[in-house]
Structure 1
């Protein structure tokens, strides 16, 4: 008898394989007093565990092929950096000596303190990096308790062809298991925009999240079928169902393979409308993937990585080097650099160097452009570095989370000050560098016409726009089902922004997850979007939809989507828009 379990499909694709149930055994940490004569021995035991953790990670990294995606090694390197950071290798030592407590307890206390910092972060992407803290701390705990390395970290091929069943997965888990050949994963928790699910899409791993208590229904090594688009997992499928999904799997692989033919084609609808396809990037290593996908430039270059896991902000020369590498790597294609989108609690060293206190609701607090303007010296350092990098290629500057005209004018004033400084120093830069604002909160969308008079372009950040419009935390399992790009309020705000751009002859792009989802491509085209920016792995599929769309043949009732109060009605209208005749 076939059992069907329904979750949230977060990464497309069909997978057929056997279950591997992953249990993350949380350590049972208890405090006990260390005799005074044994304190240094306990410190040595802790430092030995740190060193063993480093060796484990280096061994894993050494087994990763040189041609693997940059994502695969970047998480390992992040964890190695954390092991070298004083927050993990020094503060617990101080606790052992001061409190005379055991190493496990000192590590757990510091883990709790670090997790509290991450939990207060307003950016969901960065907030999920708390998983990295747990991953590293649990590794040290396992070593302290003489436990073996976990199955998914042993590169012996035992996971090849398996479907991972877990309570949840960290990004590091995901890349390690992808390297070992897993074909899909299913978790009890998670949302469509968590870091792990975004990574699954970039790595091409079919994935389902949100099947509550899934490990109760599945036995280890049991045959499973996973449909990452519909969110359906099948157990005990009969022969006919098995054959049907095998055929769909072959069809899907052929479809993915066929996308390569679009790489060299111009991005243009059947009726001749040219569309610009850009890529999002956050690390210099992303440039190789972006170039391979055939992007026409970078529509969003995140700069937060330069500020994280360090005690002081990056100096101008360090930033210049990073930005110059990116712009030169893009061979004169445009690169839109977003100024740092940090919060008071997730800047450098957790924000402590800025003497800022933890606030009740950091998502509504001092973050992004607000923090930039609150720390003008740090902001000017970045602006100078971006301006100087513009001498080496086409760069645009984008300000995040603009909500008032005063913020925009202040930011532009600081930019002009930076230009004057460079002029006095006789340093070259692009004197006509384009300036843009992100539309990611309802206030900025409603006032898009006002902003459009003072910028060269606008960029819609749908991840935050949807979250703020619907008042939901998109990585909170209890409410993420409300995260709906088709909500009429969201669509109306997008339409208002596009209309403002058209009225004032200002380009409007979209750089959120919605831009890279082919289900919404035709709807966005019908609404007037001409500039899409997305993860590079989504480019060819979106390009296929664009090149196979005739704008003049889209249903006349397309714009009724903005009035569809019932989600089922919205889904039906979307199916009409995505029908084969358009």
Structure 2
């Protein structure tokens, strides 16, 4: 009987195949009291299991194939860090020494205590790290029980063939959850898609699925219990739906949709080397947003003409409080500059806070993180660390085309403070006799005050970049991470469009480049409107570039400009957009 399961769409596309159920790594734990004389041996047994897991993960990292997604190594680092966590280790020892629990009981008891702390965290990203901790504990439990290896060790290395057919049968993986190490193992099993019961848009399964460009649905609740081994399953990564035991008619429909999607993608690939020019000969720059230096590979493959946003905060996060020094940052930025092969790279100074917190211990959690000490405010409150980043950027500016972008500026006084820190960083490099270059300087327009003061801001900078994600959030007073009000997050709100239009217009008036680097830039439904408003530089995830380029190639700005002005001036832009362009 056909039925569907709904979850979160985290990686687009359609996958059709036979279900392979990952064996759950959750197992019954024996609860035994040990004698006082056994305490030392029990702690030693636990330590041997932990060390074995550490060795296994390090071996996986060392043997990682060249085509493995770069995110996997970072996720394995998170698991290695959790294995060394003092709260976990000391807590487990406490239960063994004080309560005389056996190692398995002590380990799961401490897991429950730490898990409750994760559940109380407001930040979604940190809450989801509970799953990483659970997976680490489960791997230790497997070693304690003598069950070595990954939960998917029994998965086929190649998809099997069906009786009477010569082609391989596609497989889709259904699991309660998957660890980064499991994902690495499963990558060799040629799965067409992934489904997990748990996880969110920032879970490692979602991150890796997107990097592998594989359809995936997470947060599908009890999918691993409802789906049976070898069921036919359709994963609709666009809608976030899993269809189990589909009818022949439904299978044919989705196979047709998948073929159409693949053909459309193949047609887009042909545009990679096509110049991004409108029908009326207006050139448009398509840039890439990246989070790690190795992301430049995808940017170059997609035909990006540069990096419009290097989110440097991801170099600072998940490091247990040990932040990168000047030299480490310099090497990371240099790798990105070299990876772009002479194309410009825009490096944004660290933007931590709100949904991108540093590790616990740096600053207490604000009552309202989005309005608290974040981005440039945080940098100016930590001048020594800020100047270390500035020195690293200045040094790499001597090796290629580099731009430096400052986030969340809202006051002229902040601009002057920021530039003073930059000048001091230059003086420090001069004093050390280290060569450097001078990058172009830019400001992020993401606070409504900055958009309204753009005329006064522009003389300080060479370019502007509109961060529409935060601009919409602050303009409409909506926490975009709060599902209770997320439906009010509206890029077509008249106030938002008027702010965006005014910033673009003022940039044109003063002869300064303006880029949009938020989600609006990669939304093909917004491409023609932004073009009509005068935008000539878009920055987005590399996977979105070719689809946006296709819209640009079809556009005629002479026709779009008056229509876009009418939309921006309307009290109901969405209604005009629904009618379509002229």
Distance 1:6 1:100, change over 3 A: closer
Work out whether residues 118 and 346 of structure 1, in 8 Å CA contact, stay in contact via their aligned partners in 2. no
Map of 1:546 onto structure 2: 552
| Counterparts of 2:257 and 2:468, CA distance in 1 | 31
Q: Secondary structure at the match of 1:226?
A: strand
Bigger mean CA deviation after superposition, 244-253 or 156-165 = 156-165
How far off its partner does 1:415 sit?
0.8
- Tell me the alpha carbon deviations over residues 22-46 of structure 1, each in whole angstroms, 9 at most, x when there is no partner: 6866678899876543332222122
Supply the distance in 1 between the matched residues of 2:102 and 2:526 (Cα, whole angstroms): 54
Given that 1:115 and 1:130 are in contact with CA atoms closer than 8 Å, whether structure 2 keeps it comes out as no
Equivalent residue for 1:399?
406
2:163 aligns to what? none
CA distances 1:377-406 after superposition (whole Å, capped 9, x unpaired)? 111111112111111111111122223332
Equivalent residue in structure 2 for 1:342, among 345, 348, 352: 352
Give the 5 Å matches for 1:148-163. 151-152=151-152, 156-157=156-157, 161-163=170-172
SS of the aligned residue for 2:580 comes to: helix
Match of 1:272 in 2: 281
Alignment of 1:140-219 (within 5 A): 140-144=140-144, 151-152=151-152, 156-157=156-157, 161-165=170-174, 177-186=186-195, 196-197=205-206, 199-208=208-217, 218-219=227-228
**How many angstroms does 1:376 deviate by?**
0.8
Match of 2:462 among 456, 463, 482: 456
1:513 & 1:573 partners in 2: Cα distance? 18
Name the residue aligned to 2:164. none
Residues 1:428 and 2:435 are matched in the alignment: yes
TM-score, normalised to structure 1, is 0.83
Q: How many residues align?
A: 571
SS of residue matched to 1:183:
strand
**Aligned CA distance change for structure 1 residues 115 and 136 (closer, same or farther; 3 Å):** farther
- Of 286, 305, 319, the residue aligned with 2:329 is 319
Deviates more, 1:295-304 or 1:505-514: 505-514
Contact 1:344 1:371 in 2 (8 A): no
- How far did residue 506 of structure 1 move? 2.4
Query: Is 1:511–1:533's contact at 8 Å kept on the other side of the alignment?
Result: yes
Once the two structures are superposed, the pairs formed by residues 207-286 of structure 1 within 5 Å of their partners are 207-208=216-217, 218-286=227-295
Offset, 1:144: 4.0
CA–CA separation in structure 2 for the residues paired with 1:453 and 1:29: 66
Within 1, Cα distance between the matches of 2:470 and 2:109? 33
Structure 1 pair 424/462, CA: closer, same or farther in 2 (3 Å)?
Answer: same
CA displacement, residues 507-563 of structure 1 (integer Å, 9 cap, x when unaligned): 222223332333433333233322222222322232223223333444964556558
Indicate which of 343, 347, 356 corresponds to 1:333.
343
- Paired with 2:478 and 2:195, the residues of 1 have a C-alpha distance of 23
Per-residue displacement from partner, 1:189-212 (whole Å, max 9, x unpaired)?
666676654553342222345666
Cα distance change on mapping 1:195 and 1:53 into 2, 3 Å: closer
| CA spacing shift, 1:493–1:176, aligned 2, 3 Å | farther
Distance in structure 2 (CA, Å) of the matches to 1:475 and 1:158 = 40
Provide the rounded CA distance (Å) in 1 between the counterparts of 2:452 and 2:110.
Answer: 45
Aligned partner of 2:80 in structure 1 is 80
Structure 1 residue 373, shift from structure 2 partner: 0.9
Residues 5-61 of structure 1 deviation map (CA, whole Å, 9 limit, x = unaligned): 666544332222233456866678899876543332222122122122224434655
What is the aligned-residue RMSD (CA, Å)? 4.0
**CA distance in 2: counterparts of 1:114 and 1:334, whole angstroms:** 44
- Distance change >3 Å, CA 279–CA 19, structure 1 → 2: same
**8 Å contact 1:191–1:474 — kept in the other structure?**
no
C-alpha displacement at 1:451, in angstroms?
2.8
| Superposed displacement of residue 65, structure 1 | 3.2
Preserved CA contact (<8 Å) 1:300 1:338? yes
Please give the alpha-carbon distance, in whole angstroms, between the structure 2 residues aligned to 1:563 and 1:176.
54
Q: Distance in 2 between matches of 1:285 and 1:46?
A: 37
Residue 519 (structure 2) pairs with residue 513 (structure 1): yes
Write out aligned runs for 1:515-530 (5 A): 515-530=521-536
In structure 1, C-alpha distance between the alignment counterparts of 2:25 and 2:478, rounded to whole Å: 31
Distance 1:196 1:224 in 2: 19
CA displacement 1:77-118 (0-9 Å, x = unmatched): 442344355565567557755776654546754785588479
SS at match of 1:392: coil
How many angstroms does 1:372 deviate by? 0.8
* Alpha-carbon contact 1:304-1:340 (below 8 Å) kept: yes
Using the TM superposition, name which of 136-145 and 245-254 deviates more. 136-145
**Separation in 2, partners of 1:525, 1:215:** 45
User: Residues 436 and 177 from structure 1, CA distance in 2 versus in 1: closer, same or farther, beyond 3 angstroms?
Assistant: farther
The Cα of 1:333 is off from its aligned counterpart by 1.6
- In 2, Cα distance between equivalents of 1:10 and 1:571: 28
Kept in 2: contact 1:29–1:108 (CA 8 A): no
**SS at 1:262 equivalent:** coil
